[in-house]
Amino acid sequence: MKKIPVGISSCLLGQPVRYDGGHKLDNYIVGTLAEYFDFQPFCPEVAIGMGTPRPAIQLVKTDNGIRSLGVKNPEVDVTTPLRNYAHQQKATHIDLCGYILKKGSPSCGMEQVKVYSNGQPQQIGTGIYAQAMMCNNPLLPVEEEGRLGNPMLRENFIQRVYVLYRWKQLLAEGLTPSRLTRFHAQHKLIIMSHENYIDLGQLLATVTKVNVNEVANTYIAQLMNTLKKLASRKNHVNVLQHIQGYLKKELAADDKAELCELIERYRQGEVPLIVPLTLLKHHFRKNPDPYIEDSYYMSLYPQELQLINAL
C-alpha cells in the first residue's frame, strides 16, 4: 500500500523552524506513523519570510478581530500573510488525507490557542494559518500532536485519514452508483460504531447515474462529519453483536457462549476491543461471509499501528 499523504507542522518532524530556532520532534509521528504516512511539512511563519530564529508572535483580540501580532512589537501584524499562505497552498492541500498541527501555535494551533486581551490570555483561539487551511478543506481530518497521546482521539483521527484516502481512491477509479453503494457497505459497520447510519443509507437510496456526483458530495460531507464523533463502547458492542449475528447458524453453543462472554467483558471494560475482534476474525476464517469480509471494520488499518489495543 502506498503511503498516505498527510500534512504536518514542520517542527514535529524535527526541522529547526521554531521561533527560537528549535524544533518539537515527535517520536511517535516520525517513528510509527511515518511508516504509513507520507508527511508533507509546512511552516507558514518561515514561508512568509519571518526567518529562524525570529521574534515571537501571539494572537491578540483587537477592534479588527483576532490578529497575529508581535509579542515585543505589536506593530508587526502577520495575520494577512499567514491567511494568504494558506490560500496559496490550497492546491497542494487538496491532495492530503489528513493534517497534524502544532498545539498552541498562533499560526498552526487547531484549538485552545491563547488569545490576549488587555494583556490577559484566554485559550479560545485557532492559529491564523490553521483556521484558513481548515476552512479551505472541510473534509480533511485534522488533529494536534498533543491530542494524539489520547488513544481514542488518535484512533479517531487515523480512522478518518484512512476513510478519506479510500474515498479519494474511489474518485480516482471513477464514481458510479454501484461503486458509491459498495463504499458505503464497506464502511457501514464503522459508521455504526459512531452513530446511526440510516440517514446516509436513505441518501444513497436516491442515487442515480444522473445525480451521482451531487449525492456523493453530500454523502462524503455527512460521513466525515459523522466520523468526527468518537466511537463509543456502547456502539462498538452493538456492532460486535451485529457481526455475531452472521455466525448464528455456524457456531456451536460453546463458541457462541465464549463470544458473548468476551463481548460482555469488553462492554464492562475488562478487555480491549481487539480481543472480541480477534475471536470474530478466527470464526470468520472458518466460516467466510462476503459482506463481513468486505467490511473495513474488521481490518481498520495495518496491525502494526496497534491502535485498537487501548480501546
Model pLDDT for residues 42-53, shown as the tens digit of each residue: 999 999 999 999
User: Contacts for 295-298 with beta carbons within 8 Å, 24 or more apart?
Assistant: 295/185, 295/186, 295/187, 295/188, 295/189, 295/190, 296/162, 296/166, 296/186, 296/187, 296/189, 296/190, 297/187, 297/189, 297/190, 297/193, 297/239, 297/243, 298/189, 298/243
**pLDDT (average), residues 59-86:** 97
Give CA–CA dist 253/140, Å, rounded: 45
Q: In degrees rounded to 5, what are phi and psi of residue 26? A: -110, 115
3-state SS track over 228-246: CCCCCHHHHHHHHHHHHHH
Look at residue 304 and tell me whether its pLDDT is greater than 60: no
Question: For position 198, what pLDDT does the model report?
Answer: 83
Tens of pLDDT, residue by residue over 125-160, are 999 999 999 999 999 999 999 999 998 999 999 999
* pLDDT confidence bin for 76, thresholds 50/70/90: very high
pLDDT tens per residue, range 248-279: 999 999 999 999 999 999 999 999 998 999 99
Average pLDDT of 292-297?
93
Per-residue pLDDT band for 301 (boundaries 50, 70, 90) equals low
Beta strand 37-42 pairing with 4-9: parallel
Note the pLDDT tens digit of each residue in 237-251.
999 999 999 999 999
Peptide bond into 177 cis (omega under 30): no
Count of residues making up the chain: 311
* pLDDT value of residue 2: 86
pLDDT at 99: 98
Contact criterion met (CB below 8 Å) for 11 and 108: no
Local confidence band at 290 (pLDDT 50, 70, 90 cut-offs): very high
d(CA 78, CA 119): 19
| Long-range CB pairs of 182-187, under 8 A, 24+ apart, other chains included | 182/294, 184/219, 185/291, 185/294, 185/295, 186/294, 186/295, 186/296, 187/163, 187/223, 187/295, 187/296, 187/297
What's the mean pLDDT in 95-105? 98
State how far the alpha carbon of 254 is from the alpha carbons of 4, 60, 260, in Å.
42, 65, 10
Report pLDDT digits (tens) over 12-45.
999 999 999 999 999 999 998 999 999 999 999 9
User: In this predicted structure, what is the pLDDT of residue 115?
Assistant: 98
Query: Which helix H or strand E contains 42, and what residues bound it?
Result: strand 37-42
Backbone angles phi, psi at 241, to 5 degrees: -70, -35
Band (227; pLDDT cuts 50, 70, 90): very high
What confidence score (pLDDT) does residue 195 get?
84
pLDDT level of residue 310 (50, 70, 90 thresholds): low
Q: Nearest-CA neighbor of 266 among 295, 244, 291?
A: 244
Instruction: Report the pLDDT value the prediction gives residue 165, as an integer from 0 to 100.
Output: 96
Report the percentage of the chain scoring pLDDT > 90: 92
pLDDT at 196: 74
